[in-house]
A and B are shown apart, each in its own frame.
Chain A
């Protein structure tokens, strides 16, 4: 594969995208998971798909859109949806989770319509749903790098505030943090990351990349910094490993990446089990 990496530029693009997303998704994902917003990732990825398919559909009629990277419109729609999601949550104060299926159905419904309307016009459904190695274009890389940069800046600058807000929203408000503004900034970044991640893992698997590495890290970490570091380690392992395997096996990268993430989680749980058995043994011996 290394020789191929040097030969084929599309492989290099996919590789860069995987490395950057393997870092960015678990980084923002750590906050998404502890804020119990895992499902929001799913809703936003489906809406992103609607944006992308709408852009592809428009591309048939409007020259501007046929030259435009469809991910741009997808990203825009994802950001708008993230803000709309908050509005919906406030409409259903007592059933806030309803906002997710509402958003998701709307996204999927629109996607279905636009995809079928643009059938035969360079829409590869499998690429959209499960990602593709050959689908990453230079302009995608630009967008992915820009989003990664924004994410890192926001987290470096607002790390303390975001952690406080995630752990204890009420206290954060009392101590004078502008919680609404921070929350909107956070949702904005989440929407960006989800939109660009789907290039490599596809709509259906984006939320796994955001949540699974964090889920594994959560099993054994005590501090939030540790959680972030381990989630990124797992994320990189899954994306790079998954990409290599997907290339060798010639299957959609999203599937392999996510399965690797599931395997990591399983391995962590196994180690945990072994660890607790050992502890018991030690206890017995000292009895």
Chain B
């Protein structure tokens, strides 16, 4: 049996007494590609932030790689691209390369400087997202789509075992959307990383997704395979997001 990467057991989270997550249980295995869908305000980001340990649930438990959230210390195994990545202070004087280097900081000790291995990893990550030629540019001088790719480079520079992306394509224009999904496909092919992707568009990732979690006002309305999800018809309690015919007949 493959090990659990993320395991939520009857998790509830309340903001000042208002429930944002209600009794959510999920078991994510190594190599899974989980799509989290649901309307705005349904608790997707709250779920992500609970997994990351940014929020502590008032009820239930979170386990990462088989350890309780609080005891899990090897944070460099997990990377996160936040929903608000593009809303950082765009005047901040850091170069693309400095931003990606931050992805290595978590594992670097005090005093230590970036070594050759770190630098190679940074170059590699930037080349993966096709941004190496922009390495000396100020992050704020790039377009939203380019910035997002830099944040993805920062997320993959550690070769994480779990990559969490919260609506990473918000604010990315159509033209660059394809680049983004290409990177996602590339990562999927090249690594054995587990993915959690919050998205509004299942269609572009149909060939990647192994599991769909649909949140409805904080409750888990569906936690199933993509095929089952697409077959949830009129009878379902929720209105599933549209999924085109898929079932692995070779996407373009």
Contact = CB atoms under 8 A, between A and B. Distances in A.
Contact of B89 (A36, A174, A224): A36
Contact of A163 (B98, B111, B138): B98
Interface in A179-221: 217-218, 221
Contacts of B94: 163, 167, 223-224
A229 to B, nearest CB: 11
A9 interface: no
B110 A157 contact: yes
A174 B53 CA distance: 7
Contacts of A175: 75-76, 102-103, 105-106
A22 to B, nearest CB: 20
Given A167-B88, A167-B94, A222 B102 contact: no
A283 B86 CA distance: 31
Q: Is the interface of A mostly helix, strand, loop or mixed?
A: helix
Contact of A34 (B89, B95, B99, B105): B89
Contacts of B93: 34, 217-218, 221-224, 226-227
Given A222-B137, A222-B138, A171 B92 contact: no
A161 B95 contact: no
Nearest to B164: A174
A216 to B, nearest CB: 12
A164 interface: yes
Given A34-B93, A224-B93, A174 B78 contact: yes
Interface residues of A, number: 29
Contacts of A168: 88, 102
Contacts of A177: 105-106
A34 B92 contact: yes
A177 B52 CA distance: 13
Interface string A118-159: 000000000000000000000000000000000000001110
A284 interface: no
A179 B134 CA distance: 29
Contact of A223 (B53, B76, B95): B95
Contacts of A227: 93
B99 A167 contact: yes
A196 B100 CA distance: 36
Interface string B46-72: 000000111000000000000000000
A279 interface: no
A176 B53 CA distance: 10
A13 B66 CA distance: 61
A225 to B, nearest CB: 8
Interface string B100-127: 0011011010110000000000000000
Q: Which of A160, A164, A166, A177 has the most CB of B within 10 A?
A: A160
A110 B77 CA distance: 51
A73 B82 CA distance: 44
Contacts of B250: none
A156 B95 CA distance: 20
A91 interface: no
Contacts of B137: 222
Contacts of A273: none
Contacts of A225: 98
Contact of B102 (A36, A164, A226): A164
14 contacts: A34-B92, A34-B93, A157-B111, A160-B105, A161-B105, A161-B110, A166-B92, A170-B84, A174-B52, A175-B105, A222-B138, A223-B93, A224-B94, A224-B98
Q: Which 3 A-B pairs have the closest CB atoms?
A: A175-B106, A176-B75, A222-B138
Given A167-B94, A221-B93, 15 more contacts: A157-B110, A163-B94, A163-B102, A164-B105, A166-B92, A167-B99, A168-B88, A171-B80, A174-B80, A175-B75, A176-B73, A218-B91, A222-B138, A223-B94, A223-B98
